[in-house]
Amino acid sequence: MFSTTEMPSPSSLFTAFASITASIMFFQSMLNQILPKQVRDYLISFVQNLFKAHTPMLTFVFNEDNELGGRNQIYYAAGVYLETLLRGPPKTKRLNVSKSPKEIKGLIFRLEDGETVTDLYDDGIELQWRFVCSKPEKGNSNDNSEKRYYELSFHNKYEDKVSNSYIQFVLDRAKAISEEKRVLKMHTLDNSYKGIGWKSINLDHPATFETLAMDQKKKDDIINDLNRFVRRKELYKKVGRAWKRGYLLFGPPGTGKSSLVAAMANHLKFDIYDLQLANVIRDSDLRRLLLATGNRSILVIEDIDCSVNLSDRIHGEEEKKLDPNNHDKNSIAGTFLTLSGLLNFIDGLWSSCGDERIIIFTTNHKERLDPALLRPGRMDMHIYMGYCTYEAFKQLASNYLEISGDHNLYGEIQSLLGETEVTPAQVAEEFLKHENADSALEEFAKLLRKRKMEGSDECDAKTDEKKWQVC
């Protein structure tokens, strides 16, 4: 043991430490002044390589931009994926926390400069992520941009597994997370001085297949058809078909056609483009609008039977009304929006300009549609949106009145729904008038009884009219 007389005093230790620190700083300053930056960087790299030669660790670096100046897909995927690792118990000392106005599902977590987080992959492979933000040196006027990148460090024996499997896993997970969090858009037509184009707002429609007032079997059929469509990219490519799907929604007004479109968009995470043909004058305008739509989107053309008079159906005097100075039918057909122009975009060559497209026509009168619109390959699935069934009624009662089980009026209502015609929109409107479930169901039952009586009186009146005509 050393005696206290042999130990140096604290002041002596502090003086020695200060002297050594000052010497190091002086030496570093002299090196910075004497040696060019390139030489200093080479020496630092040489020393680092000496240490790396004796370590089993390997590091991948993912810069924010690639060598061509574009976005590095892996860098941005890493940022999205690492957010899932940063939630829950703290795994690092400092986090960058933010919230975007468009972000609906909570806060956004990012690593701060120099912080690390560890990930485990494939039952035991430990990988360490580190975020680095390298700022330019002061006085260097040639480089004013900071460089951001991620470092991924792991044991070098896992190089093949990380290169061929883990990085693709991060890309796939980031894509799935981004799609889940994506804010859907509703695009509508906008006429400006630059011509007709799209403008968008956030799609906040709450309709889902869980809340949709529709028979369960019909909902299951639609969901299965949608899921089958989105997973068949390779099949569509193999058989040489455009990756698109057409749906025709037909039935009386107020039967939930718009709600079904919103439920399909929320299920697939697709944007909606609401194409109002009455505002489109020429085939060239239609071509430009459809080319401007994005992938993973739903194009909706509502009330196709009455939204516009397509000019290649028009003959004789009506042509002259459209263009009294031009009597050439071919010229008119080339000037205005035509049925053939619309069909060409549905399943012609132009239909292949994009992937994962869904086209939906809605109509109240299917019988009025041109047969050319209805053939297979254009409208692949025809969905009848009819009057409210008992199963749809129970779904509406659950949504609006929060009734999960049966009610003593359900038996009568089920019988009345089989004898009267009422739309889901009318049921919802009746429920919104009441705050109490019992009173809402009682008043709805009264409405159905009244409609049943009115229907009987109408039938009697028609019978009497026929008897009078016979007499």
Does residue 6 form part of some domain? no
- Give the pLDDT confidence of 350-360 residue by residue, as tens digits: 566 678 889 99
- Give the pLDDT confidence of 104-153 residue by residue, as tens digits: 556 777 788 888 889 999 878 999 999 998 876 665 555 557 888 999 99
CB 60 within 8 A of CB 162: yes
Tracing tokens 């697939």 back to the chain, one arrives at 268
Where does a domain end: 181, 209, 242? 181
The CA R_g of the chain, rounded to the nearest whole Å, is: 34
217 and 341 together in one domain = yes
CB 385 within 8 A of CB 260: yes
Q: What would the two tokens of residue 61 be?
A: 């670096």
174 and 234 together in one domain = no
Buried b or exposed e, range 58-90, using 16+ CB within 10 angstroms: eebebebeeeeeeebebbebbbbbbbebbeeee
Q: Give the whole-angstrom CA distance, residue 159 versus residue 153.
A: 10
89 and 129 together in one domain = yes
pLDDT of residue 114: 84
Tracing tokens 């030489």 back to the chain, one arrives at 39
Q: What would the two tokens of residue 1 be?
A: 């043991």
Residue of 267, 225, 263 whose CA lies nearest to 247: 225
Q: What would the two tokens of residue 86 be?
A: 């940063």
168 and 253 together in one domain = no
Helices of type H across 209-316: 216-230, 233-239, 257-268, 283-291
Angle at 275 between CA 269 and CA 276, to 5 degrees: 145
299 and 424 together in one domain = no
Could you give the number of structural domains in the chain?
3
Residue 189 sits in which domain range? 185-317+333-384
Residue 302's CATH number:
3.40.50.300
DSSP 144-174: ---EEEEEEEEEGGGHHHIIIIIHHHHHHHH
pLDDT of residue 349: 56
Does residue 346 form part of some domain? yes
251 and 167 together in one domain = no
Does residue 431 form part of some domain? yes
444 and 361 together in one domain = no
Does residue 40 form part of some domain? no
pLDDT of residue 55: 67
Does residue 116 form part of some domain? yes
Tracing tokens 């297979």 back to the chain, one arrives at 376
Tracing tokens 């939204």 back to the chain, one arrives at 307
Does residue 451 form part of some domain? yes
264 and 176 together in one domain = no
Predicted TM-score (pTM) of the model is 0.69
Q: Give the whole-angstrom CA distance, residue 391 versus residue 388.
A: 8
CB 282 within 8 A of CB 451: no
Where does a domain end: 369, 384, 399? 384
Total Cβ atoms within 10 A of residue 435: 8
Q: Give the whole-angstrom CA distance, residue 111 versus residue 90.
A: 12
DSSP 223: H
Q: Give the whole-angstrom CA distance, residue 57 versus residue 157.
A: 9
Where does a domain end: 159, 181, 203? 181
Q: Give the whole-angstrom CA distance, residue 28 versus residue 43.
A: 13
Residue of 316, 354, 322 whose CA lies nearest to 337: 322
Q: Give the whole-angstrom CA distance, residue 53 versus residue 220.
A: 59
In this prediction, the residues of the chain whose per-residue pLDDT falls under 50 are 1-2, 311-334, 460-471
pLDDT of residue 310: 56
**CA distances from residue 449 to 16, 119, 182, 422 in whole angstroms, order as listed:** 101, 64, 46, 12
pLDDT of residue 212: 94
Please list, in sequence order, all residues whose beta carbon lies within 8 angstroms of the beta carbon of residue 452, skipping any fewer than 6 positions away. 416, 419, 420
210 and 341 together in one domain = yes
pLDDT of residue 331: 39
Q: Give the whole-angstrom CA distance, residue 290 versus residue 273.
A: 9
254 and 175 together in one domain = no
347 and 249 together in one domain = yes
Does residue 18 form part of some domain? no
Backbone phi, psi, residue 363, to 5°: -155, 150
227 and 306 together in one domain = yes
Angle at 104 between CA 101 and CA 109, to 5 degrees: 80
Does residue 32 form part of some domain? no
